[in-house]
Every structure is written in structure tokens, then in C-alpha cells.
Amino acid sequence: MNIRKRIIEDLQLRGKRVIIRADYNVPLDDSLQITDDTRIRSTLPTINRAVDEGAKVILCSHLGRPKGKFDPKFSLAPVAKRLQRLLGKEVTFAPDCIGAAVEGLVAKMQPGDVMLLENLRFHPEEEKNDEVFSKALASLADVYINDAFGAAHRAHASTVGITQYIPEAAAGYLLKKEIEYLEGAVENPVRPFVAILGGAKVSGKIGVIENLGKKVDKVIIGGGMAFTFLKAMGLEIGQSLVENDMLDFAKGVQDHAFSSGVKFYLPVDCVVAASREPGAETKIVPVQEIPKGWYGLDIGPASVKLFSEAVQDAKTILWNGPMGMFEVDAFARGTLAMAHSVANAYALTIVGGGETALAIHRAGESESISFISTGGGAALELLEGKTLPGLAALPNRQA
């Protein structure tokens, strides 16, 4: 599919100051070392394009939730260091994202130079989409490129406000790719189209279930949300996670699937534990035999087999949400097994970011997936059919 928004290739960048909104909200360990630099690597094509064109490249991002004030543990300094290594050239690190000191550094930039601004969220005005803050950011550059898919569902100063004060704006390569895969899969999928939905809660995926339910050929439900569906069918689910106010919705989704010819899969067995504590007694039981007081925490081997067979003939697979409490080894098998099944399918495979991306990574299957989204919340909203504010703020391409 062709993205309707203007993209970086549509603009002349030579000699211009180009501010690129990236998503460098990367995981850091206790010693502030980056543990996964996927998000940094994924912005390299856009940065390199601007550098090659002879632009002065100014990068901006948020990291974590510093709540509007300076906090050294949320500094982007480690990102500047990693970027320098990945780009193979010097990256200047600015002490702030607006103000006289930053303006002075920008004024000294030469074509091809790269600078990273300090965390946008050290200013409360960023999340408030404040007009004065937006103008201050915009004053640093002539061109704005949004390449931060992970933040495109937020109406913040650096994703929305800034676009009103910079004459030229466009999407970067990463944003373009995310839209093409996620919107393209839903709007015009190669069939059979299978959606695998997991994670804890039905309520967090209502929009996705409703939107995709009309478009898929098969839907597979796993994770904590499966127990709401099982309870809606009248089964005993013990102490498993359940949303009682979602029971009617779950029943309606299932009824709609059956009436419209969509194949609907729920777990047939699960791994249950006497408690949620590590080392608690576990066993595998059919879903009809979950003991009272026990917790369902993963799909069982029969469910893995059933779900794996369901994706075998797929031509498009979209997966969002783990199959169980996969952060605990004892309950990770279902999710990891599905990661292998999805990776081995002869299909276009798309993984919605967040925990699912982490699971794919842990299973060692990242290279075998067609596309792994960098944005959890943004991917969900796009799959719900919602308009992302950061995308809506960009101009459309000229017809």
C-alpha cells in the first residue's frame, strides 16, 4: 500500500536544519546501560538519509516518565553514546531540548552534523502539547520529520504542536514502514488472515477484537484474556484472571465469529499453579478441569498444537499479546512455542510491539518475522482503526 502522508523522500533537505522526532524510549539496566537498542537501530535509515543529503540533523525523544523535571536516570546520554557507535560519527549531546544553550549548539552545526537533544519530558509542557514549548522546539529547525511510531498515538508538543510552526513536515522511514505493515495487513490482507490475540485483559483489546473480528478468517485467543471467554462459556476457571464486566462482550464476540464464518480458537488445556509465587506447584489440565482456587497462567501443549496447526495455512498472521505469564520461565512455554510456529509459517508475519516483540526476541525468532512493530500502544490503536494524532498532524502527499 502507498502511505498517504508526505514522506522524507518528498522533501529537499540539503543545508537545512532537520529535527527528527525519534522514539528512544529504550530499556536501561541499573547501571544505565542500554539492554535493547532495536528502537535506536530502526531510526538509522532516516538519520542516514538526512546526513547524506547534507542536512543538519537534530534528534529529539523522550525516555521513561520523569514527570516533567530533570532526573539523571532518564537522561538520553547513553543513547547519544550508542548512536555515535551505530552511525560511526560524532553525535553532539545537548544539555537540554530548548533554550539559549541549545540554540547556540544548533547555530554551530555544519551540514551532515548530528545532535541529540536531552529528554523532552524533562519539561512538563511536552506532554501538555504546550504552544510556547512547541514554538521553542520548532524554532530550532526548518524541517520536521516524525519517525517515532511508538509516540505517534500521543498528542504531545513534539508529535503534534511542533507541526504548526514548521513549514515542512513528513514521516520518516520507520513511521512509513509501520503504517504500511499495520494498516496494509488490516485493509488488504493476503488470505487466510489469522489474528493471534493474547495478553492479560479483554478490555485492553476491545477495539482490536471488534475491528479485526470483521476482517480475519481465524482468531486465536490466549493469555489471561482467554479465561474471560472460558468463563463466559460457563466453565470453572479457579482463581484465573477474569473481567466479569466483559463476559457478555466475550460471548458476543464468539457468537459473531460463528455467525460470520470466522474460525474462533480458545485454549483447550492450560498450565495451572496453586499460587502465583515462583516455585508453586503446577500441573497441566484440560480447560474443563481447572481446580477451584488454582490459577491458569499459560496455554498447555494441546493448545499449542491446536494453535500451531491453525496458523499453518495462513498467508498473513498478526500477533499481539503473549499466551501466558511468559516473564516467569514456568509459564513461558506456550508463548515461546507460538513464536516458533509463527516464525515457521509461510506467511507475512506481523508482531505488534511491547511484550510480544520481547517474546519473539527471547525465542530467538526476530530474524524470521516479517515485521516487528516498535510501538505497543500505537500499534494497538492503529489496529483498532483509530487515527494517530502524530500521523494526522503530518501533511498529505500532493496528488
The one catalytic residue among 6, 21, 39, 82: 39
Beta carbons of 81 and 170 less than 8 angstroms apart: no
Known catalytic residue: 49? no
The three-class DSSP label of residue 257 is helix
Angle at 246 between CA 245 and CA 250, to 5 degrees: 155
The one catalytic residue among 201, 263, 305, 362: 201
Known catalytic residue: 207? no
Distances (CA, A) of 162 to 21, 134, 139, 148, 232: 10, 5, 9, 14, 47
Distances (CA, A) of 228 to 154, 161, 300: 30, 40, 17
Known catalytic residue: 177? no
The one catalytic residue among 64, 68, 207, 377: 377
b (16+ CB within 10 A) / e for 133-165 = bbbbbbbbbbbbbbbbbbbbbbbbbbbbbbbee
Q: How far is CA 366 from the centre of its chain?
A: 14
Beta carbons of 309 and 337 less than 8 angstroms apart: no
The one catalytic residue among 238, 353, 354, 376: 354
Peptide bond into 192 cis (omega under 30): yes
DSSP alpha helices (H): ranges in 129-241?
131-138, 173-187, 206-213, 226-232
Known catalytic residue: 56? no
Strand partners, 5: 396
Q: Enumerate the active-site residues.
A: 39, 201, 354, 377
